[in-house]
């Protein structure tokens, strides 16, 4: 564990010390792979759990319009407005 932590620390330090140009160069190379792995993971999970998708959609839609969800959303909006007025 220590060796991987030290290697990652040195790598991140090297990239960060290089400034915004080096950070952008590394991000330019890393982010496309991150996107591919993320989308691939999502597709893999959906394919392996295909029979469960209708049940999940039904549960999400039923829970989203439940009275508890509506009450929670209303309380959240009221709190946001109250905090915004207090800060102003």
pLDDT tens-digit readout, 14-40: 999 989 999 999 999 999 999 999 999
Other CB atoms within 10 Å distance of the CB of residue 22: 13
pTM: 0.57
> What's the mean pLDDT when you consider all of the chain?
93
Distance CA 7, CA 24 (A): 20
Look at residue 80 and tell me whether its pLDDT is greater than 90.
yes
State the pLDDT at residue 88: 80
How is the chain split into domains, by residue range? Answer: 1-48, 52-88
């Amino acid at each position: 564990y220590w060796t991987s932590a030290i290697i990652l620390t040195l790598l991140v330090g090297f990239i960060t010390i290089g400034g915004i140009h080096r950070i952008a160069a590394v991000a330019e190379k890393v982010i496309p792979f991150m996107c591919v792995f993320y989308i691939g993971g999502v597709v893999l999970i959906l394919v392996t759990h295909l029979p469960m998708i209708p049940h999940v959609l039904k549960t999400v839609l039923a829970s989203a319009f439940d009275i508890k969800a509506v009450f929670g959303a209303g309380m959240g909006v009221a709190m946001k407005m109250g905090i915004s007025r207090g800060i102003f």
